Each structure stands twice: as structure tokens, then as C-alpha cells.
Structure 1
Amino acid sequence: MSLKILLVEDDENMRFMLHDNLEMAGYRVRPLADGQTALSAFMKEEFDLCVIDVMLPKKDGFTLATDIRKLNQQIPIVFLTARNVKEDRIQGFRIGADDYITKPFSLEEFLLRIEAILKRVYHTPTKADEQFTYPLAKFTFHFNQQKIVKDDLAVELTRKEAKLLRLFCLHQNKVIERDIIQKAIWEDEGYFVGRSMDVFISRLRKIFKDDPAVSIQTIHGIGYKLEVMPQAQPTEK
């Protein structure tokens, strides 16, 4: 079973982005928005690592981490903060932080730091063992293998195409805002990134164009939605 991470971040967009990228990296994630709820969850569930924003409502990140340390001296803790202040870093490490990451940061670097900490603490590979497979009507999407299969035909995907499609699969039949997609997949915003996203979505649409049960819809002024119609079950005679 994959490792489980407690993610505590009050900024909704940041929480969404980190949640999706951690899941795409193979972790199970419990995303929460305030320190008090996070402490309650920690007392009821088992986690392998905590990612905690310093500035949290109800119970700040330092207080939350101190309470967690009273319950568990060994679990790795990573702080996130927008404040690049020496005193904050010192306080975080005194509490027992394993790392302290200042915003803004690269998602790739963030994931590598998480992986390095878990590998050091648990002496085990941190990638999920299971193959991430998503049925999409008559298609099957294999995320780890970066391919879409229909019958005996397979279409190879680039890494970004696979990450983009998995983001849609995780939120199937739900609208995802355009800026959320940009930050989750490209870690950036702007005209050229937006045009790149349009190209990738166009490529995915071409793969599904002959199957009306699967489509990527443009929700004008908002974002996109992967629509997958349920498949009719054969009736018994």
C-alpha cells in the first residue's frame, strides 16, 4: 500500500495543486484546511508524513506540529511558508521539522524533497506499487505506462499528456478551472503556457474523437471537463 500524507494548507488553490501532484506521484493524501481539523485527523488516522503550512486558521502550523510531536516523535514533518524569515526556520527546526520549504517553490523540487525524506526515514521505495489504470468507456488509460488502449490498439502519450489526462480522470465529470490546470501541470501561468495547454488538450481530444462516450468539454470562461458516459451493462437473457 502506498504511503499516506497529511496535507494541511488553507489556500484552496495551493491545496488542490499539491494534493493532485502528490497523488500523481503515487501517495495517498488527506488534504485539510485548518490546524484543529488536522490534529483531530492525526489522532484518528495513521500517516507517514505531514506537510503543514505555517499560517493556518484555528491552530497555526507551529502549534499543530508541536501537538503532533507530543503524539509521535518519529513522523517526518515538512513546513510550507510564504515567510522567508530566519527566526521562523529556526523555530520550525527546533520543533522537529525535517524540511522547511519557502513559497513559491518548484513542484518538481517539492516532490523530490518529499521522496528523499520518506526514503531516508522508511528505507523503502516511495513510488506507489500499483499501476494507475482508468477505464474511460471503451478506452483504458494506463498512467504509469503513459498509454491509452482500445481493443488491441495502444496510443503512446507524452509525460505531460499523461499527467493532464490523469488530472481529468481524478475529477471526472467535474469542471476544472483553467488556472488550476496550468499550475498543476505546468507550474506557471501566462499566454504561452495557456497556448501549450490548448495544444495538449487538442491532442487528447483527437484520441477520443471516434467515441461519443468520452469527450473533453470546454466550459467557456472557466476551464474544462472530462465527460465520460456510463457504459450500458449487457442484459441477461
Structure 2
Amino acid sequence: MNEIKILIVEDEESIRKLIHKILAKEGMMVYQAQNGKEALDMINKYTFDLIILDILMDDMSGYDIAQHIRSEDLMLPIIFLSGKREEEDIVKGFDIGADSYITKPFSPSILCAQVKSQIKRRRGASPENLDPSIIKHGPFKFNLKTYKFYKNDIEIKLSSKETKIIKFFMQHPNHVFSKEELYQNVWHNISSDDNSIMVYIKYLRNKIEDVPNEPKYIKTVWGIGYEFSV
């Protein structure tokens, strides 16, 4: 776990120090922010491997910070650590883009295990995926520098729009998106065109699915939209 940089965003100093102590023992470099402004300043200044994020803070909520991170397309694993235990709060956290949600009071050993798991999942087990520009899920790999997409290490040629869709899917695996959400995030247009979405989903299935008529990876969630399942 050497050279791994973690940012703790938490307004309670005692909790920050506890988490710092836990993760520093694992050889991680741990940075601390006591509010949202400090957190955003650090995110703009440094490259982190993971963020541990409180929700209730004075200047802005952890939800706001997470939304900012996702809007900037920073593929940082986010772990919410919060006293908000209601189901709707947890669901909201995952909807915004959290990779994990741990409620207070928390087990230090479980938090540490979650941090290790999220970083391993993000980077992948092979030395190749220590490169943060590589996203890997299942048999697929996307290079954020070259915008090339691979299945089982074989490059799949994609059009510009197909590349943008698969990039979005690779950045948000196992998450259901409506056609409107896909259109807004890929086409960057408020009004949606269902036909365009359907056509490009069909194109992608023909290229990446083993059996396009029985999709295993780009699944239709009836009445809602699509899920990139890996």
C-alpha cells in the first residue's frame, strides 16, 4: 500500500486523528481536511487514491463535495463515513456516486479493510493497473489517455460516440441509468433522444457482447434504462 494517498474530510478532529493513525500504520499517506473548502482545495492540488467523506459539516455537506468530484469526472473512490443512518441517506449517498457507506460509530478494522478493498478494486491486481489512467472491469479495459477500449486485451474499435458511452459505463459500472441520464451525460444535452440512445446501445452490444441478442454486459432494465453489468 506504499505511495497511496488518502484524504479524510471530517470536522471532528478526534475522528480524523483516529483514521490517520489506522491508515498510516498501513503505509498510506494521509491528508486531512476539516471542512468542504479545505477538501476541494486539496483535491485540486493533489492526486488522491481515495476519499473518506463525512456528510454533515458546517460549510457544505459531503453530498455536495461528492457531487463536485463526480461532475469533474474525477474517478476517486469515495467512502461516506457518517452518523446519518437512515436508509434514504444511505441510498442518496450511493446515488451521488459513493463506492461505500459506513455509519458511525464505526469499526476501525472494517474501515481499513474497506479502504484496501476499494483501492484494489479501482487499480486492479496487476501492475499495469497501478496506472490511474486505466479503468478495468471484468474482461474490459479503458485507457483514459488514449481513449482505447479493450476486451480480453484485444482492442475494440469504436466510434466517437460509442467511445463516450463506454467510457461513461466503465466509470459507473453496475449502476442503472435512465435514457435521459445517459443522453445528458454523454451528449451533454438536457433534452433526450431515445432513438439515438437505443441505436448506439445496439451498436455497442454488437461489438462487445458474446451474444448481442442476449446481452450479458449492457443490460436493459425495463421501464428504467440500462446497466453496464460487470
Q: Secondary structure at the match of 2:27?
A: coil
Measured against aligned partners, the alpha-carbon deviations of 1:113-153 in whole angstroms (never above 9, x if no partner) come to 1111111110149xxxxxxxxxxxxxxxxxxxxxxxxxxxx
Please state if 1:116 is matched with 2:117. yes
Equivalent AA in structure 2 for residue 8 of structure 1: V
Q: Secondary structure at the match of 1:54?
A: coil
Instruction: Give the Cα separation in 1 of the matches to 2:62 and 2:109.
Output: 23
Please state if 1:81 is matched with 2:76. no
Measured against aligned partners, the alpha-carbon deviations of 1:48-76 in whole angstroms (never above 9, x if no partner) come to 11100011121110001101111234210
Look up the match of 1:50: 51
Instruction: Give the Cα separation in 1 of the matches to 2:92 and 2:125.
Output: 29
Q: Unaligned regions of 5+ residues in structure 1, if any?
A: 126-237
Q: Secondary structure at the match of 1:13?
A: helix
Measured against aligned partners, the alpha-carbon deviations of 1:67-98 in whole angstroms (never above 9, x if no partner) come to 11112342100001112111111110011100
Equivalent AA in structure 1 for residue 50 of structure 2: L
Equivalent AA in structure 2 for residue 68 of structure 1: I
Look up the match of 1:31: 32
Q: Alpha-carbon deviation of 1:4?
A: 0.4
Look up the match of 2:20: 19
Percent of counterpart pairs with the same letter? 36
Please state if 1:98 is matched with 2:133. no
- Please, what TM-score do these two structures have when normalized by structure 1? 0.51
Equivalent AA in structure 1 for residue 38 of structure 2: T
Instruction: Give the Cα separation in 2 of the matches to 1:68 and 1:6.
Output: 13
Instruction: Give the Cα separation in 2 of the matches to 1:118 and 1:46.
Output: 14
Equivalent AA in structure 2 for residue 10 of structure 1: D
Measured against aligned partners, the alpha-carbon deviations of 1:90-116 in whole angstroms (never above 9, x if no partner) come to 110011100000011111111001111
* Higher RCO by CA contacts (8 Å cutoff, separation 6 or greater): 1
Look up the match of 1:67: 68
Runs of 4+ with deviation above 4 angstroms? none
Change (3 A) 1:3 1:124: farther
Query: Alpha carbon RMSD of aligned pairs, Å?
Result: 1.3
Q: Unaligned regions of 5+ residues in structure 2, if any?
A: 127-230
Measured against aligned partners, the alpha-carbon deviations of 1:146-176 in whole angstroms (never above 9, x if no partner) come to xxxxxxxxxxxxxxxxxxxxxxxxxxxxxxx
